[in-house]
Structure 1
Amino acid sequence: MKHPNRRCRRWLLAAALVLVLAVIPAAGRADEPKLKLFVNPTPAFSAQVWVDRGEGSTYFPGENVRISFRTTRDCYVYILDIDPSGAYRWLLPSVWWKNNYVRANQTRTLPEGSYELTVAGPPGIEQIYIFASTRQLDMPYLEYSLRSGQFAPRIEANAEIIQKEIKARIQIVPSTYWVSDSTYFYVGSGAWPPAVTPPPAPQLLGAVNVSSSPSGARVFLDGQERGYTPIFIRDVPLGEHEVVLIMRGYHAVVHPFNVSYPGTFYITRNLQRIE
């Protein structure tokens, strides 16, 4: 059963690969991967794998990554992850996504459902390989991964041994039955940079000039005493306010007003003597 908001830690790429089946030219950054594993020289169909930010993009630990893939034939798909520490893991099929049979020309994206794939350290390069076959493949260590009860456990074997075993399993399949592809991204050092919060917009303020006849009345603005009339009060926020005037021997005056723009508002009241 899938659990909402559960995170599966992503593991990042191997810096050096021992068994090389094909070499692709280096381009771009100096640390860009120069090796490509398990290439079928005469494929009868194609498969593609990519990450949501594009090949060669950078993710920081704590960020989520999405992996998409598609094939041009109905087939079984296997996705292998290699992280900077040299750990190999099967992402598909897995205990969370056991169905690895896909239809032709349909894009599928991991994670599915309410899961997340979260990038972890160390910094370096992470590579992702896809193997697509019209026959089910007996991939090495895959049964262990599925029976472990964990998502994508690390394969406890030497990288060279893992590569040789994968090569041995796919070499027995006719070349017209399988194809592979790969992509990579960089894992930045440090934690995921938090979003930069722009400074708040400056608060718009007005002012109020309060006078009375006779003068000398106590002035309360929004319940706080501010002085005696006549008085000029600065920095009054925009919105609804209330002025109260109190003077011994006169009726109190309550005067609501609205500061609708950053200007000066004038309040003048005649006080009524108590008979």
Structure 2
Amino acid sequence: MNKKTLTALMALTTATAFGTASAQGRISAQSIIVNPTQPDLSVSVRVDRDASGNQNPAYRVGDKITVSATVNRDAYIYLFNVDPSGEVDQVLPNRLGGDNFVKAGATRSFPAPGDNFTFDVGGPVGQNKVLALASLTPLNLDQISSFRTSQDQFATVNARGQAGLAQALSIVVNPLPQNSWVSDTAFYQVAAQNPVTTGSLFVGTNVNASVILNGQRLGGSNVTYSNLRAGTYPVRVQAPGYSDFATTVTIRQGTITNLNVDLAPAAQAVVQAPVTTGNTFLDLIGGLLGAITGTQLQDPARSALDQKVTDLRNQGYTVQGTRTTTTGYVSTLSKGGSTVTVTVTRGANRTLSVQVTETTNYRY
């Protein structure tokens, strides 16, 4: 249910007289209508963010709210909302949440626990006020409100504004004994909903890994990280014994960006047998020269990958990430709407397979 928010009224500066009966109500700076006597019947109305009833809590448009009223004697509770435009809503009784009779010491909440609907805060924004009126006997509200159709869940209130509602209620309570009714008022602020400027990131991996976003460690993998400022950032995923995975992610406000990474075991160093000439002396000299110069042979598969990646970078492509597989390497590059994947695979008999695939997205 999305019902208009309970909104505040400006306190009236002048009192208005209603009828001559001793139980007539009067307007107060802190309420819509109050009993001029001090009955032993009492009612207290609260919103869920203020258990004391003395505060003025804040809600934003779209927040859920619960209004509760408690009486010290068996009584019937009536709840009304008035917004700054003067529109009045009757919250209780209604056709959704049961009757409005409350036992002594009990609390009636709207929505009640177990109800299959919610009360959502709406506009307009500003100071808000909700009135609870308790009576020892049922009140006839025909002059104030009515259900216009059999499908209406809430009654339509005919009165407009605080003064109109106070006058209408005064007529209703006029015939009642002085000690048979009482009222209370709760306040809260409604603020506009701020635009969402943050998003979330989920990083899924096949092993336990660490996630580093924009140079800052977020924590472990397989976790959703929230309240991240929208934007595009570099991300690195690391795990002991596995090759790092690096790419960029774009975090969009109000959504979850998913990044799934299949980390590959780190390549083991390949120890090549020394090349011999059959001459012990020449082999010794060659070994000494190799030790002095620190000459090492590069992995042919990596050399092939680097060469192809360099060619693509010269064509304007940007490397998004490189990972090691059990049979070689895979690099991903992008340019505009095109994504290129370079896969280098070691084959039998010291052969290499270099595969380049390109995917281009077109808008139509």
Instruction: State the TM-score, normalizing by the size of structure 1.
Output: 0.67
Structure 1: tracts of 5 or more residues without a match: 1-5, 24-33, 229-234, 253-275
Give yes or no for contact 2:148–2:156 (8 Å, CA) kept in 1: no
What corresponds to 1:165 in structure 2?
A: 168
The structure with the larger Rg is: 2
Q: 1:42 aligns with which of 38, 43, 46?
A: 38
Matches of 2:46 and 2:197 in 1, distance apart?
25
Q: Secondary structure at the match of 2:146?
A: helix
What corresponds to 1:180 in structure 2?
A: 183
Aligned residues: 223
Residue type matched to 1:249 in 2?
Answer: N
Matches of 2:188 and 2:78 in 1, distance apart?
19
Residue type matched to 1:79 in 2?
Answer: L
1:131-210 equivalences under 5 Å are 131-145=133-147, 149-152=151-154, 154-159=156-161, 160-188=163-191, 190-191=192-193, 194=196, 201=218, 203-205=236-238, 207=243, 208=266, 210=268
Q: CA deviation at 1:249?
A: 2.7
What corresponds to 1:271 in structure 2?
A: none
Q: 1:128 to 1:195 in 2, by over 3 A?
A: farther
Identity among equivalent pairs (%): 20
- Between Structure 1 and Structure 2, the one with more helix by share is 2
What corresponds to 2:83 in structure 1?
A: 83
Q: CA deviation at 1:146?
A: 6.8
What corresponds to 2:250 in structure 1?
A: none
Matches of 1:45 and 1:203 in 2, distance apart?
67
Q: 2:349 aligns with which of 222, 232, 249?
A: 249
Matches of 2:145 and 2:156 in 1, distance apart?
13
Q: 1:66 to 1:178 in 2, by over 3 A?
A: same
Matches of 1:219 and 1:243 in 2, distance apart?
12
Residue type matched to 2:182 in 1?
Answer: V
Q: CA deviation at 1:247?
A: 6.1
Q: Which has the higher contact order (CA 8 A, sep 6+)?
A: 1
Residues 177-227 of structure 1 show CA distances to partners (whole Å, capped at 9, x for unaligned) of 112111011111x3255595577627542544643244555448xxxx856
Matches of 1:51 and 1:94 in 2, distance apart?
18
Give yes or no for contact 2:47–2:68 (8 Å, CA) kept in 1: yes
Instruction: State the TM-score, normalizing by the size of structure 2.
Output: 0.52
> Aligned-residue CA RMSD in angstroms?
3.4
What corresponds to 1:92 in structure 2?
A: 92
Q: CA deviation at 1:172?
A: 1.7
Residue type matched to 2:31 in 1?
Answer: K
Residue type matched to 1:12 in 2?
Answer: T
